[in-house]
Amino acid sequence: MIKNKKVAKAFLILALAFTMLITACGNGGKNSTNSGKAGAAADGGSGNGSAALKPVELVMVFPVGGEPKDMKLVSDEINKLTKEKINATVKLVPIGFGAWSQQKTLMMSGNEQIDLIVSGLGTYSQDVAKGQLLELDNYLAEQGQGITEALDSLDPAFLNATRINSKIYGVPSIRDLAADYGITMRKDLVDKYNIDTTAIKSLDDLDAVFKIIKDNEPGIIPTVKYLTSIIDIYVNSFFDNLGEGLGVLPGYDNNLQVVNMYETPEYAEMLNTVRRWNLAGYIAKDAATSTETQYNLVKSGKAFSFISHMKPGIESQESRSTSKEMVSIHFRPAATATYNITSIMWSIARNSKDPERAMMLLNLMYTDKQFINLLDYGIEDTHYVKVSDNVIDYPKGVDATNSGYNLQMGWMFGNQFLSHIWNGDDTELWNQLAEFNRNAIKSKALGFTFNADAVKTEIAAVTNVQNQYKVALETGTVDPVSKLPEFNKQLKAAGIDKIIAEKQKQLDAWAAASKK
């Protein structure tokens, strides 16, 4: 779904630094170019076309892996479109991932104009509490009807999951709003050793597979970590982490009773499995300290597999990221929680000079196919060519290394289901993702956002304890039989029970309010 997943992973690592969230799509069958009052104004259908709107400049701020050299060319084309549709020009302000947190804080706390900004990233509730984001309910009703329609066509629960005190302050991009879980492996080695992928149903079924690789492929690590450990993402297949994992909801339900994940039998069992793999030599001895990505390890021929969250289209995506054909096995069901949805959103900043027109621009991002493809892929016949009506590829002589516009961040820009399909992906990918989102298990706490202010001291102390134990345990570097009880003892001393009690109190209040 994302052509350059390295960029996406950098984005998610940024989010994980704040929330330890996991974590790109709308109804592929609804490619209408205009919807709601913004669309009516664009076509003059309301009798009040764009010419009747005063000209404005809107500022749109978002993170990038690196600013493309042709950003100005693409911006000029975008402005031709937005001038025609809503009589607005748009100043695109891309900020590098490394500078995002600091620059965003400076811009939001000052008086600098920001109309639309990417929100979420683990700071959504804090930004709302600081008054930095505008309440969107009225703007959505008046100028953003297309956004609501696009999200509701999947499930009204997705937009409702963003509410804080019953109000919406951000709208999620339409992408993979859920995740399932499993393992991705090099297909050439799966084929070489006739590995029966249909027999792999759980982590415990992987021992025999990893033994084949270890015994026959010296120099290749059977499995490597994804982000910070072997199972840091996989644990989310068992628990709604309720924001940052300090107090979770087992099975995405548990009658809304919050527990300490590190005391659950599921977590202990996963640690025992990972420890067994480490002792057998299936995990690199330096796994706890290595900073090499799973993609680079596979690409360089040093790794066979990694365990991660997934979605439709994952095989072609990971094949592009590793430069090797990959095969994925899904053995945990798709589920969605608040963090899946609120991790990547768009908001109107307090500093907006014209919130109504900012919402019109945001509405275009969810309803206008031409606008989305300019943001996602750049200019047709310059940055991409059409292979068929809705399938694209690089032009002749152009590739990822020399393209003048290669953001590949469609998961961020509004409604990804309106974007073209990249050559090699299933032509039904957006429809598949729409069904994936609709059919995913919905957490019983979907829509709950934890406010950590009352326990921020305890969270800092508990995080320090996690940093001492978690990665070592989740890479099998230390023995969980002795170290897991020690870890939990230190967590309690640092105040994890107080965090869980505060989260339970807030969750109970949220549940009671939701019934009214």
Tens digit of each residue's pLDDT (9 = 90 or more) over 436-475: 999 999 999 999 988 888 998 999 999 999 999 999 999 9
Tell me, what's the pLDDT at 46? 33
In the three-class reduction of DSSP (H, G, I as helix; E, B as strand; rest coil), residue 90 is classed as strand
Q: Indicate the range of 21-30, 70-79, 392-401, 411-420 predicted with least confidence.
A: 21-30
**Residue 304: pLDDT band by 50, 70, 90 thresholds?**
very high
Residue 11 has pLDDT above 70, yes or no: no
Tell me, what's the pLDDT at 16? 44
Percent of the chain with pLDDT over 70: 90
448, 512 Cβ separation under 8 angstroms: no
Residue 210 has pLDDT above 80, yes or no: yes
SS3 sequence of 359-417: HHHHHHHHHCHHHHHHHHHCCECCCEEECCCCEEECCCCCCCCCCCCCCCCCCCCCEHH
Mean pLDDT, residues 338-358 = 95
Report the relative pairing of strands 385-386 and 305-310 from DSSP bridges: unpaired
**Residue 244: pLDDT band by 50, 70, 90 thresholds?**
confident
Q: How many CB atoms lie within 10 A of CB 372?
A: 25
**Residue 49: pLDDT band by 50, 70, 90 thresholds?**
low
CATH superfamily, domain at 5-176+341-439: Periplasmic binding protein-like II (3.40.190.10)
Q: What is the pLDDT of residues 377-430, one digit of tens each?
A: 999 999 999 999 999 999 999 988 899 998 878 899 999 999 999 998 899 999
Q: What is the pLDDT of residues 111-163, one digit of tens each?
A: 899 999 999 887 888 889 889 999 999 999 999 999 999 999 999 999 999 99
Tell me, what's the pLDDT at 29? 33
Mean pLDDT, residues 319-340 = 92
Mean pLDDT, residues 318-325 = 88
Alpha carbon distance 132, 124 (integer Å): 10
346, 169 Cβ separation under 8 angstroms: no
Mean pLDDT score of the chain, rounded to an integer?
88
Mean pLDDT, residues 203-232 = 95
Alpha carbon distance 283, 298 (integer Å): 14
Mean pLDDT, residues 237-256 = 93
353 Cβ contact partners less than 8 Å away, ≥ 6 residues apart: 56, 58, 113, 115
Residue 316 has pLDDT above 80, yes or no: yes
Residue 358 has pLDDT above 80, yes or no: yes
> Which one-letter DSSP state was computed for residue 150?
H
